[in-house]
Chains A and B, each alone.
Chain A
């Protein structure tokens, strides 16, 4: 077989395989490390490295969300004109337990407000809240849409206050604040995103009380006000070791957990009694 034939075969093979390769005509996927964040007794938060490659000339917006959880909220009101106690309760469903947005440039400069809401990237979490709803617990009077909205917005505010929600309000650091020239760097309280020659890197800082479960990372690549490509990846936050064992026991085998707890505290108590006998007597 001549050299020409070999070259033709290689070229043919390359053309056949090219569409299956991620770099052919589209950006490669998103890489997350570690794939599983382990929560043990010493857990004080964790850094998650997320990276990807943006198409030439595109900017990156990265959204991180945890699976939605149902949260029970209580509303306090004055009773007898003296005490403040719970007067109403509601269950809020459909709100992710964690939400953060990072961008290589100001999101307002990259996408229209409507597009931000559609993709749930807006700084007021309007898009995110459109999937959530609040309802009264069974046996209670139904909530009006306005009342339900107040509960959903209150939960959003609580999440922002406790850093479980990091909307892209100030995630893009301007040059005046120390960003790299050309708006290539963005930061937020939950981490930082850097875009350099098409390759972006995000260091996501998960809080100490990071919700457990699967997290979804969505990278939007934006060019001229339009999302030209989207890439997704997942990672997990799981309990491990003693925390996992005690957590699953407390939930799935409460009587065993109760006996174990009492056994441990009594042993510790008797141990303390043996260490400090004089004080006990």
Chain B
């Protein structure tokens, strides 16, 4: 419905229904490998994957993911993993949700102004005709990409139609790998906009390349989480996968009835509500000061 993977909503929702934070993260990492695999295969067949760019990102995300899994392990032993997951989500969801809402509200305003000016032009105010094009001009790509032009290890990424330092996608993979391990996300909501707006990769190639590297990143994370942190529930992962597939079909039909900015307003609002819930969980006094530590106890 909204065109995002939803990993950054899935983990908080699992935590809200009582799944221990570490299990939510590990299981989500595993199910993302399944979700991404079919999408990656489809994009591969369509020629939307820049393998060289994907492998460069993957090199970073493998290292980042390995670091992230060890961070999870240390935080769990300190008993504060739950807190750090929540505060990471507060920061990330707060930023993503705010940007989404800001962008969608701007689109609402622009759309409203454009329609108003168009109706005024239709009523005879010809001097406003130029304003119609002005308010509906597309957003300009961010110029940050130029900063990396002087970095070493410049490479040609043919399918992506860009030339950039390999250090940038490597660093991007490293950062997203760490975040993915701690948050239980695929990282598409960071990776795809960065590739499009900073590296200048065409949208379909950015999505395809992201899904390609995500399969291996998530598989690496799922493997390491299961081996080192023992926090993967394969039955839950399969249930989430099937549920997400059915939900995606329902969402796709609902999404056809709404405009893009309306969908982004909807998603941005959900993201901010989840962020507020996470924030309240760490700032409000808990109902009981003593509880079973993450990883302790458990059912079957």
Contacts and interface: CB of A to CB of B under 8 A. Distances in A.
Interface of A: 39, 41, 43, 71-78, 82-86, 89, 150-151, 154, 157-158, 208-209, 212, 239, 242-243, 246-247, 250-251, 254-255, 257-262, 264-270, 272-277, 279-281
B140 interface: no
10 contacts: A72-B292, A74-B294, A158-B288, A261-B226, A265-B222, A265-B241, A266-B33, A267-B34, A270-B38, A281-B42
B283 A82 contact: yes
A221 to B, nearest CB: 35
A247 B300 CA distance: 8
Contact of B296 (A72, A150, A208): A72
B238 A85 contact: no
A86 B75 CA distance: 11
A268 B30 CA distance: 12
Interface in B219-264: 219, 222-227, 230, 232, 234-235, 237-238, 241-242, 245, 248-249, 252
B233 to A, nearest CB: 9
Contacts of B300: 39, 43, 209, 212, 239, 243, 247
Contact of A265 (B83, B87, B238, B285): B238
Given A76-B289, A272-B241, A209 B299 contact: yes
B234 A83 contact: no
A151 B121 CA distance: 75
Contacts, number: 161
A245 B65 CA distance: 28
B37 A250 contact: no
Contact of B223 (A89, A259, A270, A279): A259
Nearest to B240: A265
Interface of B: 30-31, 33-39, 41-42, 46, 78-80, 82-83, 87, 215, 219, 222-227, 230, 232, 234-235, 237-238, 241-242, 245, 248-249, 252, 282-286, 288-297, 299-300
B63 to A, nearest CB: 19
A86 B78 contact: yes
Contacts of B31: 265
Given A264-B238, A267-B34, A279-B252, 7 more contacts: A82-B283, A254-B227, A258-B223, A258-B227, A265-B241, A273-B37, A276-B245
A83 B42 CA distance: 45
A84 B223 contact: no
User: What's the dominant secondary structure at chain B's contact region?
Assistant: helix
Contacts of B226: 250, 254-255, 257-258, 261
Contact of B241 (A72, A82, A269, A276): A269
Given A72-B295, A75-B290, A89-B293, A262 B245 contact: no
Given A84-B282, A243-B300, A262-B223, A74 B79 contact: yes
B237 A72 contact: no
Contact of B282 (A43, A85, A208, A254): A85
Contacts of B290: 73-76, 150-151, 154
Nearest to A85: B83
Contacts of B230: 250-251, 254
Contacts of A39: 300
A266 B34 contact: yes
Given A76-B291, A254-B227, A86 B41 contact: no
Contacts of A258: 222-227, 232
B223 A86 contact: no
B33 A265 contact: yes
A74 B42 contact: no
Contact of A77 (B238, B289, B297): B289
A154 B226 CA distance: 30
A132 to B, nearest CB: 14
Contact of A269 (B34, B83, B235): B34
A86 B283 contact: no
A73 B291 CA distance: 6
A265 B235 CA distance: 9
- Looking at B30, B225, B242, B297, the one whose CB has the most chain A CB atoms below 10 A away is B297
Given A269-B35, A273-B41, A281-B42, A72 B252 contact: no
A208 B284 CA distance: 30
B222 A261 contact: yes
A158 B297 CA distance: 12
Contacts of B225: 258
A268 B226 CA distance: 19
A141 B47 CA distance: 60
B20 to A, nearest CB: 12
